[in-house]
Amino acid sequence: MKAHTEYLWFNTKKQREFINITGELEKALAKAQVREGLALASAMHITAGVYINDAEEGLIADIEEWLEKLAPFRSDYRHHRTGETNGDAHLKNLLIGHQVLVPVTNGKLDLGPWQQVYYAEFDGQRRKRVLIKVIGE
């Protein structure tokens, strides 16, 4: 069994961004030289997430709008009593999830025809990271 670990670092320019990281997973997989196994991408912060979906700009805008409807920015979150102002970002993380697991088959990410892996930032403009872990043979 082989294992390979990498970290992606982000310092987004905006509070919220959606960044396609599929290519970064493919690069890590190539370095790992795994033919059959799994690739994990995990946001290491509780105000960011990782998800799989289509790379279509309209859909990305719809996802952002949907998240804002379900977990809007408000000043009255109890979390804000701690001095933080990112209560909505924590809730958006719960909706999107913090990690994805992608099968590896014949040395390639085994994604569907439209599937891409995205890093979702909900409280940006500061340094954050994503763990990539590839395991297999």
- What are 8's two structure tokens? 């992606």
Over its C-alpha atoms, the chain yields an Rg (Å, rounded) of: 16
The reported pLDDT for the residue numbered 126 is 92
The per-residue pLDDT for range 83-114, each reduced to its tens digit, is 999 999 999 999 999 999 999 999 999 999 99
Q: Give, as one character, the DSSP assignment of residue 37.
A: E
Give the number of other CB atoms < 10 A from CB of residue 129: 17
Whole-prediction pTM value?
A: 0.96
The reported pLDDT for the residue numbered 31 is 98
Closest CA to 9 of 133, 90, 126: 126
Per-residue three-class SS string for 71-93: CCCCCCCHHHHHCCCCHHHHHHH
The reported pLDDT for the residue numbered 122 is 98
The reported pLDDT for the residue numbered 18 is 98
Domains of the chain: 2-136 (2.60.120.460)
Question: What are the Cα distances from residue 25, in Å, to 44, 102, 119?
Answer: 16, 9, 11
The reported pLDDT for the residue numbered 67 is 98
The per-residue pLDDT for range 26-68, each reduced to its tens digit, is 999 999 999 999 999 999 999 999 999 999 999 999 999 999 9
Question: What are the Cα distances from residue 57, in Å, to 18, 19, 20, 61, 104?
Answer: 10, 11, 11, 6, 27
